[in-house]
Structure 1
Amino acid sequence: MKIEQLHKLFIQCNSVCTDTRKIKKNDLFFALKGENFNGNTYAEQALKKGAKYAVVDEASFNTSSKTILVENVLETLQNLASYHRTYLNVPIIALTGSNGKTTTKELINATLSQKYKTVATIGNLNNHIGVPLTLLSMSKDTEIGIVEMGANHLKEIEFLCHIAKPDYGYITNFGKAHLEGFGGIEGVIKGKSEMFDFLINNDKTIFVNGNDSIQIEKTKHANRFVFGENHLGLDIIINFIEAEPFVKSEYNKLEIESQLIGDYNFNNIAAAIAIGHYFKVEDRDIKTAIENYTPTNNRSQIIQRSSNTIILDAYNANPTSMRAALLNFEKQPNTKKIAFLGDMFELGKDAEKEHQNITDLATSLNIEDVVLIGENFFKTETALSSTKRFKYFDDLKDWLNGCNLENTSVLIKASRGMALERILEFI
């Protein structure tokens, strides 16, 4: 079946679904395959649960007038999404970067939705499946789409850009994330910059953080809108005031106080302000959007437990974000401080060095107790006697059961796979 024909059927459906547990009536089901499952085997179940059609790629499952046989289900999903994006011709803002992508995306969406009907990536569904699903969730009512793009190898951002065909783009930063896949920091810069390449080659617009010299250099021949703190060559000036603990910024004589901690969040806020300004959102509405945004999903959340203040930042971690979190944590008010740091994943050959670097930093700061969890942190060395190491979380649990924290500031930071939010059960 040609994509044009499939698109006509898709328009008749309510939404796209790839999980039979979430099927709703009149969905279009795509029978994706994974390492441990074959979506084709669920096609009949999807139809029984109310799906209008099921897209399969194995002939033995093409058993009904409601099944659609294609050569490859995943490629068909991607091609349909790209076709639908062209069909709608909605302005698309693409977003990538090493740190802060999801927070920045949520801030941009909060700001633009003050004036427009927006659709944005849900959570961090930012890969070769998530991007198509985001595009297919847009309708003729959508006025602006905001698409987050993640990658851990070269050519992934380029591929996602060819699916989404963004009109605008922003890269949050270039940090030490996914070093194993990218082969080092230079690979990270090259991989993330694939978005710049696409936008420049297609004469589109790039939002640029004027405080980032790499961004400035790579976009010097681009159509760009530059924001930053007070210096020459900016299209809009946004100044940092403080982060004690919440980030305050100043824009167009307005003071904006967010619910985000850490000065590293200033750039994320500034990007949302700049993009809101570019799309002519009223200043007061920009202020409202930023001030009302509350972080969720283990991202820089502030949690109060009796006399303890917890910074839960356990959604993800890499050397760049870990360093920023620690430096910010040291600035917290003068209570006792304890940092729980879990392993950072996907660092490849740099894992030993980067975990040791973070250990050295953490133990040099004004933090009374540093608790390291995971196989990589367990291997690190330090002369500081107050540093605790636990190879596995179960080992940490025994220590936590005897640890009665009072009047303490707590940082919990690790890669997602460590699931360090489990510490909350003991505080």
Structure 2
Amino acid sequence: MITKTVKQISEMIKIENDLSEFQNIEVRGLSIDSRKIEQGNLFVPFKGENSDGHRFVEEAIQKGAAAAFWQKDVPNPPLHLPILIVEDTLLALQELARAYRNMLNVRIVGITGSNGKTTTKDMTANLLAIEYKVQKTEGNFNNEIGLPLTILALEEDTEIAVLEMGMSSRGEIDFLTRLARPEAAIITNIGESHLLDLGSREGITEAKLEIINGLQENGLVTYYGDEPLLSEKLLDYKGNIMIKTFGRRGINNIYPVDIEQNDNGSVFSTNVSNSEFKLPVLGTHNVLNALAAMTVANQFGVPYEKMNEGFAKLKLTNMRTELLQGRKGEKIINDAYNASPTSMHAAIELLSHLPGYKNKILVLGDMLELGPEEKNFHLKMGESIDPNKINYVLTFGKLGEWIAEGARKKLPADHVFSFTEKQLLIEKIEKLVDEETIVLVKASRGMKLEEIIAALQ
């Protein structure tokens, strides 16, 4: 993590006040939450519409913070304390991260996409760790606050940092990539998340492609080559970068030749290696995420033959195709972290093709932020379910009712149920499950379907 004196920080970014009294104080790391202060941290308060972190500056220093930022337009700064007055605390955080990143001899991998960013980040970091000292974005620290904090948490001897880059509108990834200056970038896919903000999949594509704006010269961008919107933009790209594709089809630089699924994950082979790869993660879509990670790791010199070492140690961030067990012996796939039409289709495909179960139950909730076509997306999702591969469909939420409406066109009416109360949904699931049952749970983050999973365990 960043370890600098107050004087050194004042040389990295513009400070508005005299710090000579405190210039030798050493800062170690940062915190934006006064409840999580660690000894020596720099506390960064933010001024919001409904709350103001400046109220907690003195408390943070009492708890062990070495110093704190203070926004210029906030009155009554406690100047008897080590306060660094800046024009804007968020901009100061970002500029400090930029200056620190430029001091480090670190190579950066940037990852964006509509779905699979966090999973691909975890895979990429594991594969690169076979040969390098690696750090990665923790949790979902992938925005204009989280990414600077991740950079400032990098150790000075870190060789590669794998950084997730999220967005909700145009220009956000452009800012993040120019700050990070990646040597390699992955675009996992183009889905329907943020249609409400960006209006179309074409708009989402443009926003994701901003990651190239900060890519270093001769850097690598690898993308999902089965997506026409990406291919149209990148096949004739004139910039001085390398372009590689991954996907299901043989037109890609790397693609799966064979995939076998079981409770323990996937076993697959590819066109680029004679090795067989064992991925301890469920879902064909995660094999595609693995191909993206493998492309970048190989570009950084990790041999394909060693990659199973990295896959064997893989542990995904929670609530992403996590296999659990319920009280009645049923298996539960917890994929409740988030959902879009693309990722929900992938989850349905996963459950449809998973062998070894007599009873397969889909528990699906609302997919949010899909714009004016949201009802149609949910209806079509229900219509896509194969009654020969799925036994029951249970939905939660007002939009989930449209999934049920579509599913009733395929499954018997007494095998499709719709709920707006979680307790009633839980009681229904408990009546349907036994030791030969597997339940998959998926919805947007706001639906909090992990509460259903907790009740079944």
Query: Same fold, TM exceeding 0.5?
Result: yes
Moved more, 219-228 or 182-191: 219-228
Structure 1 residues 361, 3: CA separation in 2 closer, same or farther (over 3 Å shift)?
farther
Q: CA deviation at 1:45?
A: 0.7
- Equivalent pair of 2:184/2:296 in contact (CA under 8 Å): no
The residue matched to 1:270 in structure 2 has which SS?
helix
Q: TM-score, normalised by structure 1?
A: 0.91
The residue matched to 2:320 in structure 1 has which SS?
coil
Structure 1 residues 248, 217: CA separation in 2 closer, same or farther (over 3 Å shift)?
farther
Q: CA deviation at 1:280?
A: 1.1
CA distance in 2, matches of 1:177, 1:356: 17
1:123 to 135, 139, 146: 139
Q: Within the alignment, does 1:79 sit opposite 2:100 as a pair?
A: no
Structure 1 residues 104, 233: CA separation in 2 closer, same or farther (over 3 Å shift)?
closer
Structure 1 residues 60, 11: CA separation in 2 closer, same or farther (over 3 Å shift)?
closer
Q: Within the alignment, does 1:45 sit opposite 2:59 as a pair?
A: yes
Structure 1 residues 393, 119: CA separation in 2 closer, same or farther (over 3 Å shift)?
same
The residue matched to 1:31 in structure 2 has which SS?
coil
Q: Which residue of 2 aligns with 1:170?
A: 186
Q: Which amino acid aligns with 1:195?
A: I
Q: CA deviation at 1:2?
A: 10
1:65 to 56, 62, 81: 81
Q: Within the alignment, does 1:248 sit opposite 2:262 as a pair?
A: no
The residue matched to 2:281 in structure 1 has which SS?
strand
2:436 to 394, 407, 414: 407
Q: Which amino acid aligns with 1:337?
A: K
- Equivalent pair of 1:149/1:157 in contact (CA under 8 Å): yes
The superposition leaves residues 146-173 of structure 1 with CA deviations (integer Å, 9 ceiling, x where unpaired) of 1100011111111212222222211011
The residue matched to 2:368 in structure 1 has which SS?
coil
- Equivalent pair of 1:54/1:68 in contact (CA under 8 Å): yes
Q: CA deviation at 1:243?
A: 3.5
Q: Within the alignment, does 1:144 sit opposite 2:160 as a pair?
A: yes
Q: Within the alignment, does 1:291 sit opposite 2:312 as a pair?
A: yes
Q: Which amino acid aligns with 1:247?
A: S
CA distance in 2, matches of 1:211, 1:348: 25
CA distance in 1, matches of 2:418, 2:122: 35
Q: Which amino acid aligns with 1:162?
A: R
Q: Which amino acid aligns with 2:268?
A: S
1:340 to 355, 358, 363: 363
Q: Which residue of 2 aligns with 1:5?
A: 10
Q: Which residue of 2 aligns with 1:322?
A: 344
Q: Within the alignment, does 1:206 sit opposite 2:221 as a pair?
A: yes
Structure 1 residues 98, 11: CA separation in 2 closer, same or farther (over 3 Å shift)?
farther
Structure 1 residues 248, 218: CA separation in 2 closer, same or farther (over 3 Å shift)?
farther
Q: CA deviation at 1:294?
A: 2.9
Q: Superposition pairs for residues 2-401 of structure 1, below 5 Å?
A: 5=10, 7=12, 12-57=26-71, 58-199=74-215, 204-220=219-235, 221=237, 222=239, 223-228=241-246, 231=250, 234=253, 237=254, 239-245=256-262, 246-250=265-269, 251-305=272-326, 307-333=329-355, 334-362=357-385, 364=387, 366-379=389-402, 381-382=405-406, 383=408, 384-385=412-413, 386-400=415-429
Q: Which amino acid aligns with 1:171?
A: I
The residue matched to 1:329 in structure 2 has which SS?
helix
- Equivalent pair of 1:352/1:376 in contact (CA under 8 Å): yes
Structure 1 residues 66, 365: CA separation in 2 closer, same or farther (over 3 Å shift)?
farther
Structure 1 residues 113, 404: CA separation in 2 closer, same or farther (over 3 Å shift)?
closer
Moved more, 202-211 or 23-32: 202-211
- Equivalent pair of 1:208/1:224 in contact (CA under 8 Å): no
Q: Which residue of 2 aligns with 1:426?
A: 456
Q: TM-score, normalised by structure 2?
A: 0.86
For the aligned residues, what is the CA RMSD? 2.6
CA distance in 2, matches of 1:324, 1:365: 17
The superposition leaves residues 113-135 of structure 1 with CA deviations (integer Å, 9 ceiling, x where unpaired) of 12111121001111111110111
Runs (4+) off by over 6 Å: 8-11
- Equivalent pair of 1:3/1:80 in contact (CA under 8 Å): no
- Equivalent pair of 1:15/1:26 in contact (CA under 8 Å): yes
Structure 1 residues 55, 116: CA separation in 2 closer, same or farther (over 3 Å shift)?
same
Moved more, 284-293 or 117-126: 284-293
Q: Which amino acid aligns with 2:103?
A: Y
- Equivalent pair of 2:177/2:212 in contact (CA under 8 Å): no
Q: CA deviation at 1:349?
A: 1.3
Aligned length: 424
CA distance in 1, matches of 2:101, 2:300: 20
Q: Which amino acid aligns with 2:10?
A: Q
The residue matched to 1:103 in structure 2 has which SS?
helix
Structure 1 residues 393, 307: CA separation in 2 closer, same or farther (over 3 Å shift)?
closer
The residue matched to 1:252 in structure 2 has which SS?
coil
- Equivalent pair of 1:259/1:295 in contact (CA under 8 Å): no
CA distance in 2, matches of 1:357, 1:313: 20
The superposition leaves residues 296-352 of structure 1 with CA deviations (integer Å, 9 ceiling, x where unpaired) of 401011113353221110011001100111122111224111110011111121211
The residue matched to 1:271 in structure 2 has which SS?
helix
CA distance in 1, matches of 2:360, 2:375: 26
CA distance in 2, matches of 1:242, 1:348: 35
CA distance in 2, matches of 1:404, 1:103: 29
Q: CA deviation at 1:395?
A: 3.8
Q: CA deviation at 1:421?
A: 1.6
Q: Which amino acid aligns with 1:39?
A: G
